[in-house]
């Protein structure tokens, strides 16, 4: 149970985002409505084998990381070099690219938070970081030599396991910062990023930790892209910058993207006592499952219960709702109607950051959480680009027997969905993320006033 009087503050943040050179660049592009999505040459090289060829991706060079290729394969990086000297070689040897982003993010968060070495390395500091995938790029190349080329197991190198295991980002960050508190990874599909932050919040709120490095990661991997392309759920037929279009009538799938979002959380009174800059206070976190047995379809009732749980113990009256908004045909509108059913038709705005940088899967919730922190800081709502045409007709599911939500078409909610950034007073933001298996997550953050 929560410990009476304990609150949780956000005191640091760091994001690895496609085409962006740091947090300031990300913030500037976010509010300017710039797209961070581009043609992916690696996908396009396969021609008609793939349906989609746009993505939000980050190359090693863009993060000042140099792969060192060895004897296994000319494609297999046996280790990496950090050209900026941020991460020691010993930590690079056990990491894939996503883990390197997470370690860089942890360092930047700790520096921003102003934590001392003694604080970081104490039992009061935890690490909670997860990813949606499982090191697929490392695994494919490593085991190709065994299964296809008949090489001995040692040809796969001594670090394939630790560079591909499901909890690799948390493990690498923990070894890098040498914390003595918890080291865990929560994996919940596209709700992973927000779920890890929510779990870390609870650890602090419940008095089990005093501070945490937390977030989500999705390392660039063509294997991940191909998997979703095979499901025929990726956007196609638009230019890169127009491909991600939440709520738009012509949306036809999401844009697969990659990145990392890491934040530093701290017990509020501890942060205040040492004069830390507080970027937001976490009001509440709640998560649940739809319970209807459907792996993929969104659930209006599940989302309604999510809102009820979020507001059970604190006042929830957001000025902005940061939507999951993936650009999938059904998911976007059920989410929008679920929000309208709870909050009404005015008094708030909707933000859909995936319209600019795509769906970062395991990193989506944490990078979008950082986008929400930027909105709180700048007192601006980020735009929902490409939401050009909203359906003037009812959706097919609104006409089915048993539909319990609003009976208005999406076009009636045009004023809630800005296509350009909006300056306004923002005191509270609710962030929403959902994932395969019917998992739902919501977190509310407020300005420290």
159 pLDDT band, cuts 50/70/90, is confident
pLDDT score of 434 more than 90? yes
Taking alpha carbons only, the member of 104, 263, 96, 108 closest to residue 168 is 96
435 within some domain: yes
pLDDT digits (tens, 9 = 90+) for 53-85: 999 999 999 999 999 987 666 777 888 999 999
pLDDT digits (tens, 9 = 90+) for 302-333: 999 999 999 999 999 999 999 999 999 989 99
pLDDT at position 298: 94
Q: Which two tokens stand for residue 273?
A: 């006592």
Helices 136-147 and 222-230 meet at what angle, rounded to 10?
90
324 within some domain: yes
387 pLDDT band, cuts 50/70/90, is very high
pLDDT score of 155 more than 80? no
Q: Return the minimum-mean-pLDDT range out of 69-73, 129-133, 281-285, 406-410.
A: 69-73
pLDDT score of 3 more than 90? no
pLDDT at position 71: 67
pLDDT score of 379 more than 90? yes
Tokens 């844009």 belong to residue? 255
Q: Which of the following is catalytic: 109, 349, 359, 384?
A: 359
pLDDT score of 1 more than 80? no
Is residue 190 among the annotated active site residues?
A: yes
Q: Report the percentage of the chain scoring pLDDT > 90.
A: 88
Q: Return the minimum-mean-pLDDT range out of 43-57, 73-87, 405-419.
A: 73-87
210-220 mean pLDDT: 97
34 within some domain: yes
Cβ atoms of 439 and 287 closer than 8 Å: yes
Integer CA distances (angstroms), 265 to 21, 133, 159, 409, in order: 23, 24, 31, 40
pLDDT at position 373: 98
166-172 mean pLDDT: 95
Is residue 396 among the annotated active site residues?
A: no
Q: Which of the following is catalytic: 20, 109, 324, 349?
A: 324
pLDDT at position 72: 63
285-296 mean pLDDT: 96
Counted domains in the chain: 1
Q: What is the mean pLDDT of the chain?
A: 95
198 within some domain: yes
Q: Which of the following is catalytic: 20, 175, 190, 384?
A: 190
Residues 439, 110: Cα–Cα separation, whole Å: 30
405-427 mean pLDDT: 97
118 pLDDT band, cuts 50/70/90, is very high
**What CATH number is given to the structural domain containing 103?**
3.40.47.10
120-146 mean pLDDT: 87
1 within some domain: no
DSSP-derived secondary structure for 96-151? -HHHHHHHHHHHHHHHHHT--HHHHTSTTEEEEEEESS--HHHHHHHHHHHHTT--
425: burial class by Cβ within 10 Å (0-12, 13-18, 19+)?
exposed
pLDDT at position 135: 73
Is residue 324 among the annotated active site residues?
A: yes
104 within some domain: yes
438 pLDDT band, cuts 50/70/90, is very high
228 within some domain: yes
pLDDT score of 334 more than 80? yes
pLDDT at position 154: 77
2 within some domain: no
267-289 mean pLDDT: 98
Domain residue limits at 80: 8-399+408-446
82-111 mean pLDDT: 97
């Amino acid at each position: 149970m929560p410990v009476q009087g304990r609150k949780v503050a956000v005191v640091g943040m760091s994001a690895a985002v496609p085409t962006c050179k740091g947090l300031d660049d990300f913030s500037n592009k976010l509010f300017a409505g710039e797209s961070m999505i581009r043609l992916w040459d690696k996908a396009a090289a396969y021609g008609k084998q793939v349906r989609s060829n746009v993505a939000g991706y980050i190359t090693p060079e863009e993060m000042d990381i140099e792969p060192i290729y060895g004897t296994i394969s000319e494609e297999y990086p046996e280790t990496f070099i950090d050209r900026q000297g941020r991460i020691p070689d010993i930590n690079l040897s056990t990491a894939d690219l996503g883990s390197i982003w997470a370690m860089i993010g942890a360092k930047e968060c700790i520096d921003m938070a102003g934590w001392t070495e003694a604080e970081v390395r104490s039992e009061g500091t935890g690490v909670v970081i997860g990813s949606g995938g499982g090191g697929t790029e490392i695994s494919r190349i490593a085991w190709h030599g065994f299964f296809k080329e008949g090489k001995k197991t040692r040809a796969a190198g001594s670090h394939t396991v630790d560079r591909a295991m499901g909890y690799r980002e948390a493990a690498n960050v923990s070894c890098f910062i040498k914390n003595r508190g918890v080291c865990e990874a929560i994996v919940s599909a596209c709700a992973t990023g927000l779920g890890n932050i929510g779990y870390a919040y609870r650890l602090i709120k419940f008095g089990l930790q005093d501070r945490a490095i937390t977030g989500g990661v999705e390392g660039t991997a063509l294997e991940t892209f191909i998997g979703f392309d095979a499901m025929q759920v990726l956007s196609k037929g638009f230019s890169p910058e127009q491909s991600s279009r939440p709520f738009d009538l012509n949306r036809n799938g999401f844009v697969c993207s990659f990145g990392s979002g890491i934040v530093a959380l701290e017990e509020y009174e501890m942060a205040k006592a040492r004069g830390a800059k507080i970027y937001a206070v976490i009001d509440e976190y709640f998560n649940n499952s739809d319970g209807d047995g459907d792996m993929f379809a969104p659930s209006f009732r599940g989302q309604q219960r999510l809102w009820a749980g979020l507001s059970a113990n604190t006042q929830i009256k957001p000025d902005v709702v940061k939507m999951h908004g993936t650009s999938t045909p059904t998911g976007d509108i059920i989410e929008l109607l679920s929000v309208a059913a709870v909050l009404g038709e005015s008094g708030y705005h909707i933000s859909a950051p995936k319209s600019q940088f795509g769906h970062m899967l395991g990193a989506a919730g944490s990078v979008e959480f950082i986008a929400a922190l930027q909105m709180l800081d700048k007192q601006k709502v980020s735009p929902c680009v490409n939401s050009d045409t909203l359906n003037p007709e009812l959706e097919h599911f609104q006409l089915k027997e048993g539909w319990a939500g609003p009976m208005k078409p999406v076009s009636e909610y045009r004023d809630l969905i800005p296509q350009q950034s909006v300056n306004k007073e923002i005191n509270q933001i609710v962030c929403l993320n959902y994932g395969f298996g019917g998992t739902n997550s919501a977190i509310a953050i407020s300005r420290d006033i």
